């Protein structure tokens, strides 16, 4: 009963949040000083007249009250019809579906790199915390956290591709092309979780069960990797799952830098060209991703708490 209640409440929260986000996207488009119909006319005509813009606005359905526009869009969206792009007159949903595989590969590979990098940096920070090399690890992690992903991607592309000519990011659709944006996207998050992992390991290795294991003569590294590390990683799992939404959002800029035909490239292009149907759906899509990763995080946290309660009873 408790689980079904949580599921219903979660579904209601998702629907309500997506409704609010979609309403805000329409309001922001209305208060924007740039009219989508005018931007469309300028792209296709050098000097469009006011009558031409008015006729185009009527043709695109942008002349009616905002409430009517939103109701029409929502009615179509419930039938999975999100309109057609103002740039190429292709269905919005089809264009995003075509770009999902590229973004999915980047985000998935970035998540793996984040996890591996966080574990390496976290363990190094803990094991070297009393040495001068531990200071170096701490400085590196803080520096990586402080560097924005888009700036790192720009510098990486300038050095590796332009100056050293080690890679080519044009016309390459292999896994190697996905590696570069995934790496730049993973560095700040890996450093952040690595630093967090170090602090949690320090606390975990001061617990009573660790002291008892030491008294039994067990090796320190064995205690760390067999007992301390699993507990800390499970505690970090909900936060890590939730951060995947931020990884998707960060990919929108990095994909543009590396010329990857993913969701981010489509979103940036639609914003630049004031493509209203594409903008509305992209905002809704990003909100859905954040809500999904948040619910996954809540489910993982609930599962961990339930196992902890069961373990205490036993």
Positions of the chain with pLDDT under 70: 1-7, 33-34, 43-48, 165, 167-176, 304-314
pLDDT tens digits, residue range 110-135? 999 999 999 999 999 999 988 898 89
Q: Which residues in 238-253 are b (16+ Cβ under 10 Å) and which e?
A: bebbbbbbbbbebbbb
Q: Structure pTM?
A: 0.79
Closest among 225, 248, 241, 213 to 304, alpha carbons compared:
241
pLDDT tens sequence across 26-65:
887 777 766 777 777 776 665 667 777 777 777 777 777 7
> Could you give all domains of the chain from N- to C-terminal order, each with its CATH number?
22-83 (no CATH), 103-313 (1.10.3720.10)
| Residues facing 91 on adjacent strands | 84
Only one residue has tokens 């960060």, namely 250
């Amino acid at each position: 009963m408790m689980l079904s209640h949580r599921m219903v409440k979660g579904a209601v929260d998702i629907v309500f949040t997506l409704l609010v986000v979609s309403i805000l996207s329409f309001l922001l488009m209305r208060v924007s000083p740039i009219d989508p119909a005018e931007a469309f006319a300028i792209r296709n005509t050098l000097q469009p007249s006011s009558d031409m813009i008015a006729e185009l606005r009527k043709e695109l359905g942008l002349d009616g009250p905002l409430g009517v526009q939103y109701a029409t869009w929502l009615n179509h969206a419930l039938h999975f019809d999100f309109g057609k792009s103002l740039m190429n007159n292709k269905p919005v949903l089809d264009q995003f579906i075509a770009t999902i595989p590229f973004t999915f590969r980047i985000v998935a590979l970035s998540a793996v790199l984040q996890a591996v990098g966080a574990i390496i940096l976290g363990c190094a920070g803990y094991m070297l915390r009393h040495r001068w090399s531990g200071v170096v690890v701490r400085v590196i992690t803080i520096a990586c956290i402080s560097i924005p992903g888009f700036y790192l991607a720009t510098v990486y592309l300038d050095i590796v591709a332009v100056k050293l000519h080690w890679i080519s990011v044009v016309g390459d659709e292999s896994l190697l092309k996905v590696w570069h944006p995934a790496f730049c996207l993973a560095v700040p998050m890996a450093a952040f979780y690595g630093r967090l992992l170090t602090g949690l390991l320090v606390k975990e290795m001061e617990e009573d069960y660790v002291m008892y294991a030491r008294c039994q003569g067990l090796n320190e590294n064995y205690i760390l990797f067999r007992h301390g590390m699993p507990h800390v990683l499970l505690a970090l799992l909900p936060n890590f799952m939730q951060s995947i939404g931020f990884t998707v959002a960060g990919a929108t800029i990095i994909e543009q830098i590396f010329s990857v035909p993913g969701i981010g490239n489509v979103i940036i292009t639609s914003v630049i060209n004031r493509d209203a149907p594409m903008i509305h759906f992209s905002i809704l899509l990003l909100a859905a991703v954040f809500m999904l990763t948040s619910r996954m995080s809540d489910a993982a946290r609930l599962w961990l708490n339930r196992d902890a309660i069961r373990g205490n009873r036993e």
